[in-house]
Structure 1
Amino acid sequence: MTATLSLAAAPGRSGSRMSGTLRWARRHPAQGVAVCVLLLWLAVIVLAPLLAPYDPLDQGAVPLEGPSSAHWLGTDPAGRDVLSRVLYGARLSVPVGLLLVTAAAGIGTAVGLAAGFFGGWADEVLMRVTDVVFAFPVIILAMAVAASLGPSLTNAVIAGALVWWPSYARTVRSTVLSLRESDFVHANRLAGVGSVRSILVDLLPGVAGSLLVLAMLDVGSAILLLSGLSFLGLGTRPPAPEWGSMISEASQYFNQWWLAVVPGLAIVTVVIAFNVLGDALRDRLDPKPSTPGERS
Protein backbone atom coordinates (compact mmCIF):
# COMPACT_ATOMS: atom_id res chain seq x y z
CA MET A 1 0.00 0.00 0.00
CA THR A 2 2.85 2.40 0.90
CA ALA A 3 4.60 1.73 -2.40
CA THR A 4 1.37 2.34 -4.29
CA LEU A 5 0.85 5.68 -2.56
CA SER A 6 4.45 6.70 -3.28
CA LEU A 7 4.06 5.89 -6.97
CA ALA A 8 0.80 7.78 -7.11
CA ALA A 9 2.30 10.83 -5.42
CA ALA A 10 5.41 10.94 -7.63
CA PRO A 11 3.69 12.41 -10.72
CA GLY A 12 2.11 15.06 -8.50
CA ARG A 13 5.49 16.11 -7.10
CA SER A 14 6.96 16.17 -10.59
CA GLY A 15 4.12 18.31 -11.85
CA SER A 16 4.52 20.65 -8.86
CA ARG A 17 8.20 21.13 -9.63
CA MET A 18 7.43 21.80 -13.27
CA SER A 19 4.74 24.34 -12.44
CA GLY A 20 7.07 26.00 -9.93
CA THR A 21 9.78 26.25 -12.59
CA LEU A 22 7.34 27.77 -15.06
CA ARG A 23 6.16 30.32 -12.48
CA TRP A 24 9.77 31.27 -11.74
CA ALA A 25 10.48 31.69 -15.48
CA ARG A 26 7.43 33.93 -15.90
CA ARG A 27 8.48 36.11 -12.95
CA HIS A 28 12.12 36.31 -14.13
CA PRO A 29 12.09 36.10 -17.94
CA ALA A 30 15.64 37.41 -18.40
CA GLN A 31 17.05 34.83 -16.01
CA GLY A 32 14.99 32.10 -17.63
CA VAL A 33 16.39 33.01 -21.05
CA ALA A 34 19.93 33.09 -19.62
CA VAL A 35 19.52 29.61 -18.14
CA CYS A 36 18.20 28.31 -21.47
CA VAL A 37 21.14 29.86 -23.33
CA LEU A 38 23.70 28.26 -21.01
CA LEU A 39 21.93 24.91 -21.14
CA LEU A 40 21.98 25.14 -24.93
CA TRP A 41 25.71 25.81 -24.97
CA LEU A 42 26.24 23.00 -22.46
CA ALA A 43 24.47 20.67 -24.86
CA VAL A 44 26.68 21.96 -27.68
CA ILE A 45 29.82 21.33 -25.63
CA VAL A 46 28.78 17.75 -24.90
CA LEU A 47 27.28 16.92 -28.30
CA ALA A 48 29.54 18.93 -30.63
CA PRO A 49 30.80 15.83 -32.51
CA LEU A 50 27.18 14.86 -33.22
CA LEU A 51 25.91 18.35 -34.04
CA ALA A 52 28.76 19.56 -36.25
CA PRO A 53 28.12 18.75 -39.91
CA TYR A 54 31.85 18.59 -40.73
CA ASP A 55 35.21 18.06 -39.10
CA PRO A 56 36.33 21.52 -37.86
CA LEU A 57 39.78 20.98 -39.39
CA ASP A 58 38.56 19.67 -42.76
CA GLN A 59 39.68 21.98 -45.59
CA GLY A 60 37.79 20.27 -48.39
CA ALA A 61 35.28 23.05 -49.11
CA VAL A 62 35.58 26.16 -51.28
CA PRO A 63 37.37 28.91 -49.31
CA LEU A 64 35.36 31.99 -48.29
CA GLU A 65 32.07 30.58 -49.56
CA GLY A 66 29.04 32.40 -48.16
CA PRO A 67 26.21 30.71 -46.27
CA SER A 68 24.58 28.00 -48.37
CA SER A 69 22.66 24.76 -48.04
CA ALA A 70 25.96 22.85 -47.85
CA HIS A 71 27.55 25.21 -45.33
CA TRP A 72 24.89 27.04 -43.34
CA LEU A 73 27.29 29.63 -41.96
CA GLY A 74 29.80 29.66 -44.80
CA THR A 75 33.44 28.66 -44.88
CA ASP A 76 36.65 30.33 -43.74
CA PRO A 77 39.78 31.21 -45.80
CA ALA A 78 41.06 27.63 -45.47
CA GLY A 79 37.80 26.07 -46.66
CA ARG A 80 36.67 24.92 -43.21
CA ASP A 81 33.03 24.96 -42.17
CA VAL A 82 32.36 27.93 -39.87
CA LEU A 83 29.39 26.33 -38.11
CA SER A 84 31.43 23.26 -37.19
CA ARG A 85 34.28 25.41 -35.91
CA VAL A 86 31.95 27.53 -33.77
CA LEU A 87 30.36 24.43 -32.24
CA TYR A 88 33.73 22.87 -31.48
CA GLY A 89 35.01 26.26 -30.31
CA ALA A 90 32.52 26.15 -27.44
CA ARG A 91 34.44 23.13 -26.09
CA LEU A 92 37.50 25.36 -25.73
CA SER A 93 36.23 28.85 -24.95
CA VAL A 94 33.65 28.12 -22.24
CA PRO A 95 35.46 25.42 -20.18
CA VAL A 96 38.75 27.32 -20.37
CA GLY A 97 36.99 30.48 -19.16
CA LEU A 98 35.63 28.52 -16.20
CA LEU A 99 39.11 27.13 -15.55
CA LEU A 100 40.62 30.62 -15.53
CA VAL A 101 38.04 31.88 -13.03
CA THR A 102 38.54 28.82 -10.82
CA ALA A 103 42.31 29.31 -10.76
CA ALA A 104 42.03 33.04 -10.06
CA ALA A 105 39.45 32.45 -7.32
CA GLY A 106 41.70 29.85 -5.70
CA ILE A 107 44.71 32.17 -5.60
CA GLY A 108 42.68 35.18 -4.46
CA THR A 109 40.85 33.21 -1.78
CA ALA A 110 44.09 31.90 -0.28
CA VAL A 111 45.60 35.41 -0.21
CA GLY A 112 42.46 37.02 1.20
CA LEU A 113 42.00 34.40 3.92
CA ALA A 114 45.61 34.71 5.06
CA ALA A 115 45.57 38.52 5.00
CA GLY A 116 42.25 38.85 6.80
CA PHE A 117 42.83 36.16 9.43
CA PHE A 118 46.42 36.82 10.47
CA GLY A 119 46.46 40.61 9.95
CA GLY A 120 49.58 42.56 10.95
CA TRP A 121 52.58 42.36 8.66
CA ALA A 122 51.05 39.47 6.65
CA ASP A 123 48.02 41.61 5.80
CA GLU A 124 50.23 44.58 4.94
CA VAL A 125 52.54 42.64 2.62
CA LEU A 126 49.79 40.67 0.85
CA MET A 127 47.59 43.72 0.31
CA ARG A 128 50.47 45.79 -1.05
CA VAL A 129 51.20 43.03 -3.58
CA THR A 130 47.50 43.02 -4.44
CA ASP A 131 47.56 46.79 -4.95
CA VAL A 132 50.55 46.51 -7.27
CA VAL A 133 48.76 43.98 -9.49
CA PHE A 134 45.60 46.11 -9.37
CA ALA A 135 47.56 49.14 -10.60
CA PHE A 136 47.91 47.66 -14.09
CA PRO A 137 45.08 47.22 -16.60
CA VAL A 138 44.13 43.53 -16.74
CA ILE A 139 44.48 43.09 -20.49
CA ILE A 140 47.87 44.88 -20.62
CA LEU A 141 49.33 42.84 -17.77
CA ALA A 142 47.87 39.62 -19.18
CA MET A 143 49.42 40.40 -22.56
CA ALA A 144 52.82 40.97 -20.94
CA VAL A 145 52.66 37.73 -18.95
CA ALA A 146 51.36 35.68 -21.90
CA ALA A 147 54.02 37.12 -24.22
CA SER A 148 56.79 36.30 -21.73
CA LEU A 149 55.52 32.73 -21.30
CA GLY A 150 54.91 32.15 -25.00
CA PRO A 151 51.71 31.98 -27.08
CA SER A 152 49.58 29.00 -26.09
CA LEU A 153 46.21 28.37 -24.51
CA THR A 154 47.78 27.04 -21.30
CA ASN A 155 49.96 30.12 -20.92
CA ALA A 156 46.97 32.37 -21.63
CA VAL A 157 45.07 30.74 -18.75
CA ILE A 158 48.09 31.11 -16.46
CA ALA A 159 48.44 34.77 -17.44
CA GLY A 160 44.75 35.40 -16.86
CA ALA A 161 44.79 33.77 -13.44
CA LEU A 162 47.90 35.70 -12.37
CA VAL A 163 46.27 39.06 -13.14
CA TRP A 164 42.69 38.26 -12.11
CA TRP A 165 43.09 37.11 -8.49
CA PRO A 166 43.29 40.52 -6.70
CA SER A 167 39.54 41.17 -6.84
CA TYR A 168 38.93 37.85 -5.06
CA ALA A 169 41.62 38.61 -2.49
CA ARG A 170 40.04 41.95 -1.58
CA THR A 171 36.53 40.51 -1.42
CA VAL A 172 37.58 37.61 0.80
CA ARG A 173 39.72 39.79 3.06
CA SER A 174 36.91 42.27 3.72
CA THR A 175 34.55 39.43 4.62
CA VAL A 176 37.10 37.69 6.86
CA LEU A 177 37.83 40.92 8.74
CA SER A 178 34.20 41.04 9.84
CA LEU A 179 33.86 37.30 10.50
CA ARG A 180 37.01 36.82 12.57
CA GLU A 181 35.58 38.95 15.37
CA SER A 182 32.45 36.80 15.60
CA ASP A 183 31.67 35.00 18.84
CA PHE A 184 31.77 31.53 17.30
CA VAL A 185 35.27 32.13 15.91
CA HIS A 186 36.55 33.32 19.30
CA ALA A 187 34.84 30.39 21.02
CA ASN A 188 36.49 27.86 18.73
CA ARG A 189 39.88 29.50 19.13
CA LEU A 190 39.54 29.37 22.93
CA ALA A 191 38.57 25.71 22.62
CA GLY A 192 41.93 25.00 21.01
CA VAL A 193 41.00 25.00 17.30
CA GLY A 194 44.09 25.67 15.19
CA SER A 195 44.48 28.47 12.69
CA VAL A 196 44.16 26.29 9.60
CA ARG A 197 41.06 24.51 10.88
CA SER A 198 39.49 27.81 11.94
CA ILE A 199 40.07 29.25 8.46
CA LEU A 200 38.65 26.20 6.67
CA VAL A 201 35.72 25.48 9.02
CA ASP A 202 34.72 28.89 10.38
CA LEU A 203 35.71 31.45 7.75
CA LEU A 204 35.70 29.74 4.35
CA PRO A 205 31.95 28.89 4.40
CA GLY A 206 31.24 32.52 5.27
CA VAL A 207 32.95 33.82 2.13
CA ALA A 208 31.57 31.14 -0.21
CA GLY A 209 28.50 33.18 -1.20
CA SER A 210 30.50 36.27 -2.16
CA LEU A 211 32.98 34.13 -4.08
CA LEU A 212 30.21 32.40 -6.02
CA VAL A 213 28.63 35.69 -7.06
CA LEU A 214 31.95 37.21 -8.11
CA ALA A 215 32.96 34.08 -10.01
CA MET A 216 29.65 33.94 -11.87
CA LEU A 217 30.04 37.57 -12.94
CA ASP A 218 33.66 36.97 -13.98
CA VAL A 219 33.13 33.96 -16.25
CA GLY A 220 31.93 36.13 -19.13
CA SER A 221 34.80 38.57 -18.66
CA ALA A 222 37.28 35.68 -18.52
CA ILE A 223 35.99 34.35 -21.84
CA LEU A 224 36.40 37.84 -23.30
CA LEU A 225 39.94 38.06 -21.92
CA LEU A 226 40.95 34.71 -23.40
CA SER A 227 39.31 35.61 -26.70
CA GLY A 228 41.21 38.90 -26.70
CA LEU A 229 44.53 37.13 -26.08
CA SER A 230 43.74 34.66 -28.86
CA PHE A 231 42.81 37.56 -31.13
CA LEU A 232 46.25 39.07 -30.48
CA GLY A 233 47.96 35.76 -31.19
CA LEU A 234 48.83 35.06 -27.54
CA GLY A 235 46.26 32.36 -26.86
CA THR A 236 45.02 29.41 -28.87
CA ARG A 237 47.14 28.71 -31.91
CA PRO A 238 45.56 27.92 -35.30
CA PRO A 239 44.11 25.69 -36.58
CA ALA A 240 42.45 24.85 -33.23
CA PRO A 241 38.83 26.11 -33.27
CA GLU A 242 38.49 28.87 -30.67
CA TRP A 243 36.20 31.87 -30.88
CA GLY A 244 38.86 34.54 -30.31
CA SER A 245 41.28 33.09 -32.83
CA MET A 246 38.45 32.77 -35.37
CA ILE A 247 37.69 36.49 -35.05
CA SER A 248 41.41 37.22 -35.37
CA GLU A 249 41.54 35.30 -38.66
CA ALA A 250 38.41 37.11 -39.85
CA SER A 251 39.93 40.57 -39.28
CA GLN A 252 41.57 40.38 -42.69
CA TYR A 253 38.32 39.63 -44.53
CA PHE A 254 35.84 42.42 -43.85
CA ASN A 255 33.66 41.59 -46.86
CA GLN A 256 33.02 38.06 -45.55
CA TRP A 257 30.86 39.15 -42.61
CA TRP A 258 30.05 35.64 -41.38
CA LEU A 259 33.65 34.95 -40.40
CA ALA A 260 33.58 37.40 -37.47
CA VAL A 261 29.85 37.78 -36.79
CA VAL A 262 29.15 34.13 -35.97
CA PRO A 263 31.88 33.56 -33.33
CA GLY A 264 31.26 37.10 -32.07
CA LEU A 265 27.59 36.32 -31.45
CA ALA A 266 28.59 33.11 -29.68
CA ILE A 267 30.80 35.09 -27.29
CA VAL A 268 28.08 37.71 -26.72
CA THR A 269 25.40 35.16 -25.84
CA VAL A 270 27.57 33.34 -23.31
CA VAL A 271 28.89 36.53 -21.69
CA ILE A 272 25.43 38.10 -21.33
CA ALA A 273 23.94 34.87 -19.95
CA PHE A 274 26.60 34.55 -17.25
CA ASN A 275 26.29 38.24 -16.34
CA VAL A 276 22.50 38.02 -16.02
CA LEU A 277 22.72 34.97 -13.76
CA GLY A 278 25.52 36.57 -11.75
CA ASP A 279 23.41 39.68 -11.12
CA ALA A 280 20.45 37.51 -10.14
CA LEU A 281 22.58 35.46 -7.75
CA ARG A 282 24.01 38.60 -6.17
CA ASP A 283 20.53 40.04 -5.62
CA ARG A 284 19.36 36.77 -4.08
CA LEU A 285 22.29 36.32 -1.70
CA ASP A 286 22.61 39.98 -0.76
CA PRO A 287 19.20 41.63 -1.18
CA LYS A 288 19.14 45.38 -0.62
CA PRO A 289 15.56 46.60 -0.47
CA SER A 290 15.20 50.17 -1.60
CA THR A 291 13.56 52.87 0.43
CA PRO A 292 11.39 55.73 -0.93
CA GLY A 293 14.22 58.21 -0.51
CA GLU A 294 16.94 55.95 -1.93
CA ARG A 295 18.43 56.75 -5.30
CA SER A 296 18.28 53.96 -7.85
Structure 2
Amino acid sequence: MKKLEIGIIGGAGYTAGELIRLLLNHPKANLNFVFSTSNAGNKIHNIHKDLIGSTDLDFTNDINSDVDVLFLCLGHGNSTAFLEKNTFSNATKIIDLSNDFRLVADKNFNEKDFIYGLPELNKTPIKNANHIANPGCFATAIQLALLPLANAKVLQNDVHINAVTGATGAGTSLSKTTHFTWRDNNFSHYKAFTHQHLGEINQTVNQLQSSFKSDINFMPNRGNFSRGIFATLYTKFDGTIEEAKILYHNYYKDAAFTFVSDEDIHLKQVVNTNKCILHLHKHEDKLLVTSIIDNLLKGASGQAIQNMNLMHEFEETEGLKLKANYF
Protein backbone atom coordinates (compact mmCIF):
# COMPACT_ATOMS: atom_id res chain seq x y z
CA MET A 1 0.00 0.00 0.00
CA LYS A 2 1.30 3.44 -0.96
CA LYS A 3 2.12 5.55 2.07
CA LEU A 4 0.46 8.90 2.72
CA GLU A 5 2.63 11.89 1.90
CA ILE A 6 2.61 14.23 4.90
CA GLY A 7 3.47 17.91 5.26
CA ILE A 8 3.87 19.89 8.49
CA ILE A 9 3.65 23.67 8.73
CA GLY A 10 5.38 25.16 11.75
CA GLY A 11 7.91 22.53 12.73
CA ALA A 12 9.89 23.89 15.68
CA GLY A 13 7.46 23.64 18.61
CA TYR A 14 6.73 20.88 21.09
CA THR A 15 3.60 19.61 19.34
CA ALA A 16 5.38 19.57 15.97
CA GLY A 17 8.30 17.67 17.49
CA GLU A 18 5.95 15.01 18.84
CA LEU A 19 4.06 14.91 15.55
CA ILE A 20 7.31 14.36 13.62
CA ARG A 21 8.32 11.58 16.04
CA LEU A 22 4.98 9.82 15.61
CA LEU A 23 4.92 10.16 11.83
CA LEU A 24 8.47 8.85 11.43
CA ASN A 25 7.28 5.68 13.15
CA HIS A 26 3.86 5.45 11.48
CA PRO A 27 3.82 2.48 9.05
CA LYS A 28 1.48 4.19 6.60
CA ALA A 29 2.95 7.70 6.51
CA ASN A 30 5.93 9.32 4.81
CA LEU A 31 7.12 12.70 6.05
CA ASN A 32 7.37 14.72 2.84
CA PHE A 33 8.37 18.10 4.28
CA VAL A 34 8.48 20.12 7.49
CA PHE A 35 8.07 23.84 6.84
CA SER A 36 9.70 26.38 9.14
CA THR A 37 10.71 29.88 8.07
CA SER A 38 12.99 30.36 11.09
CA ASN A 39 14.81 27.03 10.70
CA ALA A 40 14.89 26.44 6.94
CA GLY A 41 18.03 24.54 6.00
CA ASN A 42 18.66 23.24 9.51
CA LYS A 43 18.49 19.56 10.33
CA ILE A 44 15.27 18.64 12.12
CA HIS A 45 17.29 16.78 14.75
CA ASN A 46 19.24 19.97 15.53
CA ILE A 47 16.01 21.43 16.93
CA HIS A 48 14.29 18.25 18.09
CA LYS A 49 17.36 16.62 19.56
CA ASP A 50 15.54 13.42 20.52
CA LEU A 51 15.24 12.68 16.78
CA ILE A 52 18.97 12.31 16.08
CA GLY A 53 19.40 8.98 14.33
CA SER A 54 15.71 8.93 13.40
CA THR A 55 15.77 11.37 10.46
CA ASP A 56 18.20 13.38 8.34
CA LEU A 57 15.47 15.61 6.94
CA ASP A 58 16.02 19.37 6.89
CA PHE A 59 13.45 22.02 7.68
CA THR A 60 12.38 23.76 4.48
CA ASN A 61 10.70 26.94 3.33
CA ASP A 62 9.32 25.14 0.25
CA ILE A 63 5.79 23.73 0.29
CA ASN A 64 4.48 20.73 -1.63
CA SER A 65 0.84 21.64 -2.31
CA ASP A 66 -0.03 18.07 -3.36
CA VAL A 67 0.59 16.20 -0.11
CA ASP A 68 -2.13 13.85 1.11
CA VAL A 69 -2.28 15.31 4.63
CA LEU A 70 -1.21 18.72 5.91
CA PHE A 71 -0.78 19.36 9.63
CA LEU A 72 -0.82 22.97 10.80
CA CYS A 73 1.25 23.43 13.99
CA LEU A 74 1.07 27.20 14.07
CA GLY A 75 0.31 29.62 16.88
CA HIS A 76 -3.30 30.50 17.50
CA GLY A 77 -4.55 32.89 14.82
CA ASN A 78 -1.80 31.97 12.38
CA SER A 79 -3.52 29.05 10.65
CA THR A 80 -6.14 31.40 9.19
CA ALA A 81 -3.44 33.74 7.89
CA PHE A 82 -1.46 30.83 6.40
CA LEU A 83 -4.45 29.35 4.55
CA GLU A 84 -5.35 32.76 3.17
CA LYS A 85 -1.91 32.97 1.52
CA ASN A 86 -1.39 29.34 0.46
CA THR A 87 -3.51 26.92 -1.56
CA PHE A 88 -3.40 23.12 -1.66
CA SER A 89 -4.81 20.34 -3.78
CA ASN A 90 -8.49 19.58 -3.29
CA ALA A 91 -7.36 16.08 -2.30
CA THR A 92 -5.19 17.39 0.56
CA LYS A 93 -6.73 16.78 3.96
CA ILE A 94 -5.91 19.44 6.57
CA ILE A 95 -5.63 18.91 10.31
CA ASP A 96 -5.21 22.15 12.26
CA LEU A 97 -3.82 22.01 15.81
CA SER A 98 -4.59 25.64 16.69
CA ASN A 99 -7.87 27.04 17.99
CA ASP A 100 -8.69 28.91 14.77
CA PHE A 101 -11.50 26.62 13.57
CA ARG A 102 -12.77 24.82 16.69
CA LEU A 103 -15.88 26.89 17.29
CA VAL A 104 -18.97 26.63 15.11
CA ALA A 105 -18.72 30.33 14.26
CA ASP A 106 -15.23 29.75 12.78
CA LYS A 107 -15.56 26.28 11.22
CA ASN A 108 -16.28 27.47 7.66
CA PHE A 109 -13.26 29.14 6.12
CA ASN A 110 -12.45 29.76 2.43
CA GLU A 111 -14.92 27.02 1.37
CA LYS A 112 -13.38 24.63 3.88
CA ASP A 113 -15.64 23.06 6.48
CA PHE A 114 -13.70 22.10 9.62
CA ILE A 115 -15.03 19.24 11.75
CA TYR A 116 -14.26 19.29 15.46
CA GLY A 117 -11.79 16.43 15.88
CA LEU A 118 -12.74 14.78 19.18
CA PRO A 119 -13.12 11.13 18.11
CA GLU A 120 -15.13 10.12 21.18
CA LEU A 121 -17.72 12.71 20.11
CA ASN A 122 -17.55 12.96 16.31
CA LYS A 123 -16.07 9.71 14.99
CA THR A 124 -18.39 9.37 11.99
CA PRO A 125 -18.09 13.01 10.85
CA ILE A 126 -14.29 12.76 11.24
CA LYS A 127 -14.19 9.70 8.98
CA ASN A 128 -15.97 11.69 6.27
CA ALA A 129 -14.08 14.96 6.80
CA ASN A 130 -11.47 16.73 4.68
CA HIS A 131 -10.61 19.34 7.30
CA ILE A 132 -10.22 18.82 11.06
CA ALA A 133 -9.97 21.27 13.94
CA ASN A 134 -7.99 19.35 16.56
CA PRO A 135 -9.26 19.99 20.12
CA GLY A 136 -7.30 21.86 22.77
CA CYS A 137 -5.43 19.93 25.47
CA PHE A 138 -7.41 21.10 28.51
CA ALA A 139 -10.59 20.83 26.43
CA THR A 140 -9.84 17.20 25.59
CA ALA A 141 -9.28 16.11 29.19
CA ILE A 142 -12.36 17.98 30.44
CA GLN A 143 -14.72 17.00 27.64
CA LEU A 144 -13.86 13.32 27.99
CA ALA A 145 -14.80 13.66 31.66
CA LEU A 146 -18.15 15.26 30.78
CA LEU A 147 -19.33 13.49 27.60
CA PRO A 148 -21.17 10.57 29.26
CA LEU A 149 -23.07 12.91 31.60
CA ALA A 150 -24.08 15.30 28.83
CA ASN A 151 -25.00 12.41 26.53
CA ALA A 152 -27.33 11.04 29.24
CA LYS A 153 -28.81 14.55 29.77
CA VAL A 154 -28.04 14.45 33.50
CA LEU A 155 -25.96 17.64 33.81
CA GLN A 156 -28.33 19.87 35.76
CA ASN A 157 -26.05 21.97 37.96
CA ASP A 158 -22.82 23.96 37.85
CA VAL A 159 -19.64 22.05 37.04
CA HIS A 160 -16.47 22.89 38.99
CA ILE A 161 -13.12 22.02 37.39
CA ASN A 162 -9.56 22.20 38.68
CA ALA A 163 -6.88 21.11 36.20
CA VAL A 164 -3.08 21.20 36.23
CA THR A 165 -0.90 21.20 33.11
CA GLY A 166 2.80 20.65 32.63
CA ALA A 167 5.22 23.31 31.40
CA THR A 168 5.12 22.06 27.79
CA GLY A 169 1.54 23.32 27.58
CA ALA A 170 2.94 26.85 27.35
CA GLY A 171 5.05 26.10 24.25
CA THR A 172 8.74 26.59 23.60
CA SER A 173 8.89 30.38 23.98
CA LEU A 174 10.33 31.37 27.33
CA SER A 175 8.38 33.55 29.73
CA LYS A 176 8.74 34.18 33.44
CA THR A 177 6.23 31.40 34.21
CA THR A 178 8.07 28.77 32.13
CA HIS A 179 11.61 29.59 33.24
CA PHE A 180 13.02 26.77 35.39
CA THR A 181 13.82 28.97 38.38
CA TRP A 182 10.21 30.19 38.49
CA ARG A 183 8.45 26.92 37.69
CA ASP A 184 10.53 24.58 39.87
CA ASN A 185 8.96 23.95 43.30
CA ASN A 186 6.16 26.32 42.36
CA PHE A 187 2.43 26.21 41.59
CA SER A 188 0.00 28.86 40.32
CA HIS A 189 -3.31 29.37 38.57
CA TYR A 190 -3.97 31.51 35.48
CA LYS A 191 -6.91 32.66 33.35
CA ALA A 192 -9.31 31.76 36.17
CA PHE A 193 -12.85 31.20 34.80
CA THR A 194 -11.85 32.66 31.39
CA HIS A 195 -9.58 30.10 29.71
CA GLN A 196 -10.00 29.98 25.92
CA HIS A 197 -10.84 26.25 25.93
CA LEU A 198 -14.11 26.96 27.72
CA GLY A 199 -15.66 27.90 24.39
CA GLU A 200 -15.22 24.44 22.87
CA ILE A 201 -16.12 22.70 26.15
CA ASN A 202 -19.45 24.55 26.40
CA GLN A 203 -20.07 23.97 22.69
CA THR A 204 -19.66 20.20 23.08
CA VAL A 205 -21.82 19.97 26.19
CA ASN A 206 -24.59 21.86 24.43
CA GLN A 207 -24.23 19.66 21.35
CA LEU A 208 -25.15 16.67 23.50
CA GLN A 209 -27.43 18.36 26.04
CA SER A 210 -29.00 21.51 24.66
CA SER A 211 -30.93 22.04 27.90
CA PHE A 212 -27.74 22.64 29.92
CA LYS A 213 -27.82 26.24 31.15
CA SER A 214 -25.59 26.10 34.23
CA ASP A 215 -22.03 27.36 34.57
CA ILE A 216 -18.83 25.46 33.87
CA ASN A 217 -16.28 26.93 36.27
CA PHE A 218 -12.72 26.19 35.19
CA MET A 219 -9.56 26.86 37.20
CA PRO A 220 -6.41 26.10 35.13
CA ASN A 221 -3.14 25.64 37.00
CA ARG A 222 0.56 25.50 36.12
CA GLY A 223 2.35 22.46 37.51
CA ASN A 224 6.09 22.07 38.08
CA PHE A 225 6.40 19.07 35.75
CA SER A 226 7.02 18.87 32.00
CA ARG A 227 4.01 17.14 30.47
CA GLY A 228 0.57 15.85 31.28
CA ILE A 229 -2.81 17.17 32.47
CA PHE A 230 -4.45 16.09 35.71
CA ALA A 231 -8.06 17.35 35.85
CA THR A 232 -10.69 16.90 38.53
CA LEU A 233 -14.28 18.05 38.18
CA TYR A 234 -17.37 17.64 40.26
CA THR A 235 -21.07 18.33 39.86
CA LYS A 236 -24.31 17.25 41.50
CA PHE A 237 -25.41 13.78 40.44
CA ASP A 238 -28.59 12.14 41.68
CA GLY A 239 -27.68 8.57 40.74
CA THR A 240 -25.46 6.07 42.53
CA ILE A 241 -21.78 5.53 41.80
CA GLU A 242 -22.73 2.21 40.18
CA GLU A 243 -25.13 4.04 37.83
CA ALA A 244 -22.42 6.58 37.00
CA LYS A 245 -19.93 3.81 36.17
CA ILE A 246 -22.46 2.17 33.86
CA LEU A 247 -22.92 5.49 32.01
CA TYR A 248 -19.18 5.88 31.51
CA HIS A 249 -18.40 2.28 30.64
CA ASN A 250 -21.24 2.19 28.11
CA TYR A 251 -20.24 5.48 26.50
CA TYR A 252 -16.60 4.45 26.10
CA LYS A 253 -17.10 0.74 25.39
CA ASP A 254 -15.84 1.14 21.81
CA ALA A 255 -13.32 3.94 22.45
CA ALA A 256 -9.79 3.13 21.29
CA PHE A 257 -7.99 5.31 23.83
CA THR A 258 -10.37 6.32 26.65
CA PHE A 259 -10.68 4.02 29.64
CA VAL A 260 -12.48 4.06 32.99
CA SER A 261 -10.48 2.81 35.98
CA ASP A 262 -12.02 1.50 39.19
CA GLU A 263 -8.81 2.40 41.02
CA ASP A 264 -7.36 5.84 41.75
CA ILE A 265 -5.29 7.13 38.84
CA HIS A 266 -2.10 9.15 38.51
CA LEU A 267 -0.37 11.05 35.73
CA LYS A 268 2.42 8.56 34.97
CA GLN A 269 -0.19 6.15 33.61
CA VAL A 270 -0.71 8.31 30.51
CA VAL A 271 2.49 10.30 29.87
CA ASN A 272 3.88 9.33 26.43
CA THR A 273 0.58 7.72 25.40
CA ASN A 274 -2.54 8.75 23.50
CA LYS A 275 -4.74 7.49 26.35
CA CYS A 276 -7.24 9.26 28.53
CA ILE A 277 -7.96 7.48 31.82
CA LEU A 278 -10.97 8.43 33.94
CA HIS A 279 -11.88 7.65 37.54
CA LEU A 280 -15.24 8.21 39.29
CA HIS A 281 -15.97 8.89 42.96
CA LYS A 282 -19.28 9.76 44.63
CA HIS A 283 -19.42 11.91 47.77
CA GLU A 284 -22.91 12.61 49.12
CA ASP A 285 -24.76 14.19 46.15
CA LYS A 286 -21.62 15.06 44.18
CA LEU A 287 -19.88 13.05 41.45
CA LEU A 288 -16.12 13.59 41.20
CA VAL A 289 -14.51 12.72 37.86
CA THR A 290 -10.73 12.61 37.46
CA SER A 291 -9.29 12.76 33.94
CA ILE A 292 -5.65 12.37 32.91
CA ILE A 293 -3.95 12.78 29.52
CA ASP A 294 -0.58 13.64 28.00
CA ASN A 295 -1.11 17.23 26.82
CA LEU A 296 1.25 16.77 23.84
CA LEU A 297 -0.26 13.47 22.65
CA LYS A 298 -3.95 12.91 23.40
CA GLY A 299 -4.10 16.67 23.96
CA ALA A 300 -2.46 17.53 20.64
CA SER A 301 -0.27 15.50 18.25
CA GLY A 302 -1.43 11.99 19.16
CA GLN A 303 -5.06 12.97 18.71
CA ALA A 304 -4.15 14.57 15.37
CA ILE A 305 -2.70 11.22 14.22
CA GLN A 306 -5.80 9.46 15.58
CA ASN A 307 -7.90 11.76 13.39
CA MET A 308 -5.68 11.10 10.37
CA ASN A 309 -6.16 7.36 10.89
CA LEU A 310 -9.93 7.73 11.01
CA MET A 311 -10.00 9.96 7.92
CA HIS A 312 -8.10 7.33 5.91
CA GLU A 313 -9.85 4.24 7.32
CA PHE A 314 -6.69 2.98 9.04
CA GLU A 315 -6.81 1.14 12.32
CA GLU A 316 -7.52 3.92 14.83
CA THR A 317 -4.50 2.96 16.96
CA GLU A 318 -2.06 2.82 14.00
CA GLY A 319 1.23 4.43 14.99
CA LEU A 320 -0.07 5.18 18.49
CA LYS A 321 0.58 1.96 20.41
CA LEU A 322 2.80 3.69 22.95
CA LYS A 323 3.89 2.64 26.41
CA ALA A 324 3.60 5.10 29.29
CA ASN A 325 6.78 6.43 30.93
CA TYR A 326 5.72 4.72 34.13
CA PHE A 327 9.17 4.44 35.74
TM-score (norm 2): 0.23
Larger radius of gyration: 1
Name the structure, 1 or 2, with higher relative contact order (CA <8 Å, separation 6+).
1
TM-score (norm 1): 0.25
